[in-house]
Amino acid sequence: AQTVTQSQPEMSVQEAETVTLSCTYDTSENNYYLFWYKQPPSRQMILVIRQEAYKQQNATENRFSVNFQKAAKSFSLKISDSQLGDTAMYFCAFMKPNTGANSKLTFGKGITLSVRP
């Protein structure tokens, strides 16, 4: 079974600064996907960024980028130029591709990020 660990329960960052959220995972699979989801107080879970394990290049989406270390089973999220709207819970998630229908997502416990004005 796969596990996802987010050991930092909460973090705070000043607006416009950079923050890194940590995530580690455990799996015996070689091919899989990793995700960061954002959940603001409105509760809607929003996909931030996705990384395929077979890709060596780290994924980037505007101000969001990841540091994917496959051997270390580490998947951190870097948020540059933090904005007040980035305040939310952030979840790291793992998915093992399945034949046929999509596989399930395994989530970490999440980290609460607060951006200070």
Partner 1 sequence: DAGVTQSPTHLIKTRGQQVTLRCSPKSGHDTVSWYQQALGQGPQFIFQYYEEEERQRGNFPDRFSGHQFPNYSSELNVNALLLGDSALYLCASSSRAGEQYFGPGTRLTVT
Minimum CB separation from partner 1 for residue 18, in Å?
Answer: 24
The torsion angle over the Cα atoms of residues 5, 6, 9 and 12, rounded to 10 degrees, is 180
- 28 or 43: whose CB is closer to partner 1? 43
Distance CA 102, CA 85 (A): 30
Question: What is 24-55 written as a DSSP string?
Answer: EEE-S-SS-EEEEEEE-TT---EEEEEEETT-
Query: Contact between 31 and partner 1 (CB under 8 A)?
Result: no
Query: Contact between 84 and partner 1 (CB under 8 A)?
Result: no
Q: Which stretch binds partner 1 (CB under 8 A): 11-19, 34-42, 67-75, 78-86?
A: 34-42
List residues binding partner 1 (CB under 8 A).
4, 35, 37, 42-47, 50, 91, 93, 98, 100-110
